[in-house]
A and B are shown apart, each in its own frame.
Chain A
């Protein structure tokens, strides 16, 4: 399939715009000199992934990303940035290591390896149209995947208790 054929499908134009926005936002997340900007750019990247999920017919997953990631996780990150007093200024030297080239080489090598090993098999395989309704998802979640679902709920409970225990100031220790 040539690039012209690919672009002539309307949804691919949407994909291209969203993907471009996601990659630029992801670049900001890892390169930005401002911690708060990095956290806010993560919102753009995750919002783009939510749009892609809806484009793929996974509407429930898309809205879950919006609720959980953008609604909770990024807010948590902003709180973390405020509490740990991360350097909010434009002081790039304190945010990054000086040795950037090895990291860039590793990232590039990972990209080439993943693309080379995954895309070779699929060629021009189309993704079939179709919507996974939330009802179907819930049906499968509570029948076939009920054990993993319970395990995940246990993980969340453990994370809740662990977060409280870790972040709480010990009263016996007092102020040191």
Chain B
């Protein structure tokens, strides 16, 4: 066995106890062998120093944000019916916020932020079972009807305001910034209700 092979066997822990003893004796008595060992060891250590290379840390800082957006995109592909609901529901929430500020009508349910709603509340208010939703049985019209009920009955907003809402729906949708829409979308999509179809 060559010296190099013996050293590599030692470094990879492939020597028997007897061979290890011989190796150590040789290391202590043979100057050339010791030199060879140190040379190989230092070459491997130099390689290991690549661990300390300076990197752009912003990649790791932005990693999570990028991943969350990707998670949203994948969910969209898998669970399209949920997205129809999400986009409609998002508009409804914005309208509730706008109407809530301008209307004299008292709003019984003060939970105006999506993050304040529990999964059960979301499911109850929209009144669509996850099964129906994933089968795509509910048309856009049905979802709108459910939302209309949500706004008029559950949140007690006047039907005139609701009529305004339906007229202005496109204006409202276009006035939401991408970031705002994304933030609301992320809040909604993280609800257990919307995750069912994915898992």
Are chains A and B native binding partners rather than an unrelated pairing? no
Q: What is A's interface to B at a CB cutoff of 8 Å? A: none
Q: What is B's interface to A at a CB cutoff of 8 Å? A: none
